[in-house]
Amino acid sequence: MNTFKRISRLTEKVIHKYNQFEKQPREYSSGIVLKEAEIHTIALIGDYPDMNVTTLAKMRGITKGGASQMVYKLAEKGLICKRVSPDTDNEVCLSLTDAGQKAYQAHLKYHEEVQSDFFEELENMPEEYAEYLITLLEHFDKSLDERLKK
């Protein structure tokens, strides 16, 4: 039980710190200042071009309305563009503009340059530990989904 409490408290502490970190704006390219949620949205669209808003919402772990608001904000900033899907008229595909592509590349470069102990630890983690960690986080994600529905 003591281990459970330590893990639970540390998880909560990390989540709170990450939430604070996510609100801090950072310049990713000349004149392109974004918060973490914005750049991570750009990163997903850069990794998965032509994704739709529903997929974006699921991958970010936010509501479809929240994803739509983020898409609107990033489109207003000239970082992403929306177009009607070639498959269906009621779906929008998302892609990066040239400015969005610059921010995306700057974000990738940032992660290459930041060699934190955390990233190093993840890189050196034995495969079976990584698989277990992924399973644990998937259970945590599912648990939070269930609690948010109540």
Residues β-bridged to residue 125 = none
Tens digit of each residue's pLDDT (9 = 90 or more) over 73-86: 999 999 999 988 77
| pLDDT value at residue 65 | 94
Residue 31, helix vs strand vs coil: coil
Residue type, 146: E
Domain edges within the chain: 22-114, 115-150
Specify whether the CB–CB gap between 43 and 104 falls below 8 A: yes
The pLDDT of residue 11 is above 70: yes
Q: Match domain 22-114 to its CATH number in 3.10.50.40, 1.10.3720.10, 3.30.70.1380, 1.10.10.10.
A: 1.10.10.10
The pLDDT of residue 64 is above 80: yes
Question: What is the full DSSP assignment across 70-110?
Answer: HHHHHHHTTSEEEEE-SS-TT-EEEEE-HHHHHHHHHHHHH
Residue 34, helix vs strand vs coil: strand
**Burial environment of residue 127 by CB neighbours within 10 A (0 to 12, 13 to 18, 19 or more):** exposed
How many CB atoms lie under 10 A from the CB of residue 132? 12
